[in-house]
Amino acid sequence: MTPSETKAIVTLSLLAAFVDGEKHERERAEIKRIAEGLSQADGLNLPTLYQDVLMKRVSLASVAGELSSNESKQLAYEMAVCVCDADGAQSEAERMFLMDVRTSLGLDASAARFSEQAEEIAAVPVAAAAGTAVTAVAAPNTPDSAELDKSILNAAILNGALELLPETLSTMAIIPLQMKLVYRIGQAHGYQLDSGHIKDFLATVGVGLTSQYLEQAGRKLLGGLLGKVGGGLLRGLGNQAVSSGMSFASTYALGHVAKRYYAGGRTLSTQMLKEAFSGVVKEGQSLQTQYLPAIQEKARTLDAGKVLSLVRGA
């Protein structure tokens, strides 16, 4: 994959992020932060690219013209789909955009099937399969702290393992799994949460849904994981472990901050939640090396073709 193809894929992802025009300013700020954080990767000036997309100085037609290989076209489309689905089911504007992408890239029916699979993952309710270890630990409001800690660690290991798989849908599954984790922790403390509350909780601590997917995908794509390693989409584990470590750490932090928040009666302020999340992310990053063998072992047991079943059953 050439540098121009890499740039085109990132551009298409940013176009997808803003296609419905409904992004909250908080989410826009997160996406800008990610662009700045990845700006040195592969020599791309992502802050400028971010501004080009916002100011409509780039078009779908110009992006499509930069993608020549079937592999790059398929990957570009898959990432655009996942960006559109990261914060829930696609809007009408997003569906029309993705249809235009398929047409512009000359993709066949299998591309439409990928979009359907991503939609299915995005549509799985957070309350699905709630009768798991977290809710079975004790009476509501008095959950077993050790069991909750174990569940959080297991969720972090699973999401870290998903990042080690080559398929795009595997990364797509991380956000709904994180939302389910927060749901179960809230339920264990006697709170029945809906997806809207959980999205707000994630956004409050600093985890936007679209921006998180872009960050996960960006680390893989711009970290030399495509095109520089033999096998194309068969990415190098050493580089991919960076993205895996961030998914482990963010899931670990979300779980522990949610546990603290709901155990305390949801009294923590926005600033306290942000500071707590930032601190626990660092703790999670320090733990990732310790649990990397477990993450790698978990990845060996995962079948990316069954991602939807995994999300439903989590």
Question: Do 111 and 163 fall into the same domain?
Answer: no
Place 37 in a pLDDT band, splitting at 50, 70 and 90. Answer: low
Residue with tokens 């400028």: 48
In terms of DSSP H, where are the helices of the chain?
Answer: 3-18, 25-37, 46-54, 60-64, 70-85, 92-105, 109-123, 145-162, 168-172, 174-188, 195-205, 209-220, 237-263, 270-301, 307-313
Q: Is the predicted pLDDT of residue 279 greater than 50, yes or no?
A: yes
CA distance 180 to 129: 9
Q: Higher model confidence: residue 314 or residue 242? A: 314
Residue 73 domain boundaries = 3-121
**Do 302 and 165 form a contact (C-beta atoms < 8 A)?**
yes
Q: Is 284 exposed, middle or buried (0-12, 13-18, 19+ CB in 10 A)?
A: buried
Question: Do 254 and 288 fall into the same domain?
Answer: yes
CA distance 284 to 88: 26
Question: Do 103 and 175 fall into the same domain?
Answer: no
Tokens of 300: 């060996």
Question: How confident is the model at residue 295, as a pLDDT?
Answer: 93
Give first-to-last CA distance, the chain, whole Å. Answer: 35
Question: Do 149 and 293 fall into the same domain?
Answer: yes
Question: Do 149 and 71 fall into the same domain?
Answer: no
Backbone CA torsion sign across 158, 208, 6, 289 = negative
Question: Do 154 and 218 fall into the same domain?
Answer: yes
Alpha-carbon distances of 19 from 137, 202, 262, rounded to whole Å: 43, 22, 35
Domain boundary among 95, 121, 147: 121
Alpha-carbon distances of 133 from 106, 138, 152, 173, 312, rounded to whole Å: 46, 10, 11, 20, 15
Amino acid 146 reads A
Question: Do 76 and 205 fall into the same domain?
Answer: no
Which of the residue ranges 11-20, 136-145, 262-271 would you say has the lowest mean pLDDT? Answer: 136-145
CA distance 37 to 156: 23
* pTM of the predicted protein model: 0.82
Domain boundary among 86, 121, 156: 121
Report pLDDT digits (tens) over 242-271: 557 788 999 999 999 999 999 999 999 999
Report pLDDT digits (tens) over 218-229: 776 765 433 333
Question: Do 103 and 137 fall into the same domain?
Answer: no
Number of domains, the chain: 2
Question: Do 70 and 132 fall into the same domain?
Answer: no
Question: Do 69 and 162 fall into the same domain?
Answer: no
Domain boundary among 121, 144, 160: 121
Q: What does residue 200 show for φ and ψ, rounded to 5 degrees? A: -65, -40
Q: Higher model confidence: residue 110 or residue 269? A: 269
User: Domain of 33: which CATH number?
Assistant: 1.10.3680
Question: Do 80 and 212 fall into the same domain?
Answer: no
Question: Do 110 and 136 fall into the same domain?
Answer: no
**Residue 140 burial (CB count, 10 A):** 13
Nearest one of 27, 3, 7 to 76, comparing CA atoms: 7
